[in-house]
């Protein structure tokens, strides 16, 4: 059975049977914040005590864009959705790194950028296309020794993080306004765009951190078809 998103939510929608819902996650919200809010809206609107709701792929609080939420029996197919190719657009800022690899933490080291040319910016992209080894950020939700990595980071505890293989189908630069670069990346499940930005900075003999990120697509599911939490609540109460 091919999964399709329900883009026509009404008061008659059967969430227990199973739905694939597309949301435009706002900045500042965690993926779990969206799941919790959607679950509470469904429970209240349908007057039910319990329903399974989960998301198909974490999106960081400082990122916006497509977040897929599944309900009811379709939560069993979350792994299937997560495994699909993803498309992101974003911005990285050259000349400084942060511990979190994005703007969640302050710049901890400053680097030279005067040697960076447009030709170098474009040619460096080729180093990150195909199957590459990547180390997840210490500020991530992966679990090690019973805790999330970001919990270890905030406690100042050092843990070993192994590199793992991911695949980047393409990395394209769409605009250069030094020290910021905007890009589009098409990649596999498990790719951390924050790590990609950090590693890109090192490869260009400087430093970089992710300053903006938006998820545009997961497989055939597109941000263009996504709705806001407010619209979802409004439609389900009609």
How many domains are there within the chain? Answer: 2
Give the residue with greater pLDDT, 2 vs 217.
217
- 110 in any annotated domain: yes
Beta bridge partners of 129: none
Kindly report, residue by residue over 27-70, the tens digit of the pLDDT.
Answer: 999 999 999 999 999 999 999 999 999 999 999 999 999 999 99
Q: Specify the pLDDT at position 162.
A: 80
Regarding whether 101 and 70 lie in a shared domain, the answer is no
Q: Specify the pLDDT at position 2.
A: 75
Regarding whether 193 and 90 lie in a shared domain, the answer is yes
The model's pTM is 0.92
Q: Is residue 179 reached through a cis peptide bond, with omega within 30 degrees of 0 on the bond before it?
A: yes
Nearest to 90 by CA among 98, 102, 100: 102
- Residue 148 pLDDT greater than 70, yes or no: no
Size of the chain in residues? 238
Residue 108 designated active-site: no
Q: Specify the pLDDT at position 152.
A: 59
- 13 in any annotated domain: no
Regarding whether 206 and 91 lie in a shared domain, the answer is yes
Q: Specify the pLDDT at position 146.
A: 63
Nearest to 40 by CA among 14, 71, 17, 78: 71
| Tokens of residue 84, six digits | 């699909």
Query: Three-state DSSP class for 67?
Result: strand
Q: What is the mean pLDDT of residues 99-127?
A: 96
First to last CA, the chain: 29
Regarding whether 159 and 140 lie in a shared domain, the answer is yes
- 24 in any annotated domain: yes
Q: What share of the chain is helix, strand, coil (3-state, %, to 5)?
A: 30, 30, 40
- 123 in any annotated domain: yes
Regarding whether 67 and 175 lie in a shared domain, the answer is no
The domain containing residue 104 runs over which residues? 86-218
C-alpha span between 47 and 151 (Å, rounded): 36
Catalytic entry in 14, 33, 60, 230 = 60
CATH of the domain at 190: 3.30.2350.10
C-alpha span between 55 and 60 (Å, rounded): 13
For residue 214, what is the enclosing H or E element?
Answer: strand 208-218
Regarding whether 60 and 27 lie in a shared domain, the answer is yes
């Amino acid at each position: 059975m091919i999964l399709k998103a329900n883009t026509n939510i009404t008061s008659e929608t059967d969430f227990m049977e199973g739905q694939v819902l597309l949301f435009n996650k706002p900045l500042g919200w965690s993926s779990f914040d969206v799941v919790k809010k959607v679950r509470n809206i469904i429970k209240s609107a349908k007057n039910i005590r319990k329903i399974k709701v989960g998301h198909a792929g974490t999106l960081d609080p400082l990122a916006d864009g497509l977040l897929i939420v599944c309900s009811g029996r379709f939560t069993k197919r979350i792994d299937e959705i997560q495994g699909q190719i993803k498309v992101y657009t974003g911005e990285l800022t050259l000349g400084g790194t942060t511990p979190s690899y994005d703007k969640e933490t302050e710049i901890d080291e400053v680097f030279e950028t005067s040697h960076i040319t447009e030709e170098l910016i474009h040619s460096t992209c080729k180093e990150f296309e195909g199957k590459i080894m990547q180390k997840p950020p210490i500020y991530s939700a992966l679990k090690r020794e019973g805790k999330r990595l970001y919990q270890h980071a905030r406690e100042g505890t050092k843990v070993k993080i192994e590199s793992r293989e991911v695949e980047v189908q393409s990395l394209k630069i769409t605009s250069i306004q030094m020290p910021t670069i905007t890009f589009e990346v098409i990649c596999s499940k498990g790719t951390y765009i924050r790590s990609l930005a950090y590693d890109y900075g090192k490869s260009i003999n400087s430093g970089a951190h992710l300053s903006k990120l938006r998820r545009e697509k997961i497989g055939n599911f597109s941000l263009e078809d996504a709705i806001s939490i407010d619209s979802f609540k409004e439609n389900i109460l009609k």
